[in-house]
Amino acid sequence: MAAGHSSVGEVRVKPDRLHAFAMAICRADGSSAEEAKLVADHLVLANLFGHDSHGVGMMPAYIQNTTTGRCVRNHHAKISRDNGAVVVVDGGAGYGQVVAKEAMDIGIERAKKHGVCVVGLVNAHHIGRIGHWAEQCARAGLVSTHWVNVHGHKSLVAPFGGVEPRFTTNPYCTAIPRKGKEPIVLDFATSQVAMGKVRVANNKRVQMDPGLLIDAAGQPTTEPGVMYNPPFGAILPFGLHKGGGLAVICDLLAGALTGGRTHSPRTIKKDGHDIINNMLSVIIDPAAMGSTELFEDEVETFTNWVKSARPQVGVAEVLAPGEPERARRADREKNGVPIDTATWQQLIEVARKVRLRHRDSPCRRRGVTGGTIGEDDHGKDEALLLAGLALRRAKSGSLRWRPSSTRRWRW
């Protein structure tokens, strides 16, 4: 995604330590254990899948929003309209990781009963990686398609042919379950690049690839700072008029059809810090369409046929959607999750802000001593000291901060 050399280092963090750190931050901020776990599960899985834009780097924005009440802690989804196979679920600005899961629980149950369920999830705080919700449906054996919009946040993406931004990165996702195998998951932002990836590039101080951004005059640029410093530029939609059209459809289905509201001057908040997602999901039980065996067989036959295409020069293998994420997960589970030092610094700051304490640490309860999040004898926050030490080491040249089996500050 981003080109050029970063002047910023990275830390490599074991997934379970990262999970414990994210969960402890949430707990210290006032989330229930169940909520903190759902948030940490979601963000760390996004990191494992290689979508760092939607990983633990979102924590500072989440905690900023819980502090101001834009994200409501410990809130649960409520059905606001119930027509059986068509249901609208109000997220009440609760954590997206909680209310989207609950909305999908309802949709799965209804789809199994009626053969299909259309769920409009409205007014949810950021629901993160949309594939997470499609995978929840796929685990229940169901096909699902999801269109998502964002409001409250300032505009980020220019419409096809436009210079000024008019909506945000409106993701689209479809997942198809496979018998005995991981599902096919197509999950992407309808912008050339997800905003979180611009954030990561900006944090790393690297240039983006050409063709992704325009500056305030509508000229192509590779500088991620145009999205952070005035005069603001915009991200381009993907796929020219086709991708630009799909972005518009996402806002209309997720924002207008569900009643959740589109991205417009009526919903953009003054400071642009809200991240409210609406999502239209269509969840289908393959059994209701006919033979499940035939469906499963056709999915396998077609997928194998597609993957059998001779790869282009420089391409090792033709992959099905979802396979790149699983390959990255295998690598990161083994070698740790890379977190750029700017993001790590932001996590340390947010942990300080919520006054992380030892008693909040899931590490301690699980009896893990390495990387324990807590206070030392002098009443200082040990986790923050350790995380800061990791940061200094990363900045001083050892780009891969490797865990040690003997030191307490192993992460």
Q: Which C-beta is closer to ligand NAD: that of 160 or that of 188?
A: 188
Residue choice 150, 212, 250, 339 for contact with ligand NAD (CB under 6 A): 150
Q: Does the protein bind ligand NAD through residue 197 (CB under 6 A)? A: yes
Q: Does the protein bind ligand NAD through residue 324 (CB under 6 A)? A: yes
Q: Which C-beta is closer to ligand NAD: that of 35 or that of 187?
A: 187
Residue choice 165, 171, 244, 371 for contact with ligand NAD (CB under 6 A): 171
Residue choice 58, 124, 157, 185 for contact with ligand NAD (CB under 6 A): 185
Number of residues that bind ligand NAD (CB under 6 A): 27
Q: Which C-beta is closer to ligand NAD: that of 326 or that of 364?
A: 326
Q: Does the protein bind ligand NAD through residue 322 (CB under 6 A)? A: yes
Q: Which C-beta is closer to ligand NAD: that of 155 or that of 361?
A: 155
Nearby residues of 335 by Cβ (< 8 Å), 6 or more positions away = 12
CB 182, min distance to ligand NAD, A: 11
Q: Does the protein bind ligand NAD through residue 151 (CB under 6 A)? A: no
Q: Is 44 exposed, middle or buried (0-12, 13-18, 19+ CB in 10 A)?
A: buried
Cβ contact 184:176 at 8 Å: yes
Residue choice 58, 89, 148, 351 for contact with ligand NAD (CB under 6 A): 148
Phi, psi of 241 (to 5 degrees): -70, -25
Region of 15-23, 67-75, 104-112, 189-197 interacting with ligand NAD (CB under 6 A): 189-197
Q: Which C-beta is closer to ligand NAD: that of 51 or that of 110?
A: 51
Q: Which C-beta is closer to ligand NAD: that of 194 or that of 363?
A: 194
Q: Does the protein bind ligand NAD through residue 44 (CB under 6 A)? A: no
Q: Which C-beta is closer to ligand NAD: that of 185 or that of 394?
A: 185
Q: Does the protein bind ligand NAD through residue 321 (CB under 6 A)? A: yes
Show contacts with ligand NAD in window 203-262 (CB under 6 A).
none
Residue choice 51, 70, 75, 395 for contact with ligand NAD (CB under 6 A): 51
- Report how far residue 65's alpha carbon sits from residue 58's, in angstroms, rounded to the nearest whole number: 11
Q: Which C-beta is closer to ligand NAD: that of 22 or that of 189?
A: 189
- Report how far residue 251's alpha carbon sits from residue 239's, in angstroms, rounded to the nearest whole number: 17
CB 259, min distance to ligand NAD, A: 18
Q: Is 10 exposed, middle or buried (0-12, 13-18, 19+ CB in 10 A)?
A: buried
Binding site for ligand NAD (CB under 6 A): 51, 53-54, 126-131, 148, 150, 169, 171, 173, 185-189, 194, 197, 277, 319, 321-322, 324-325
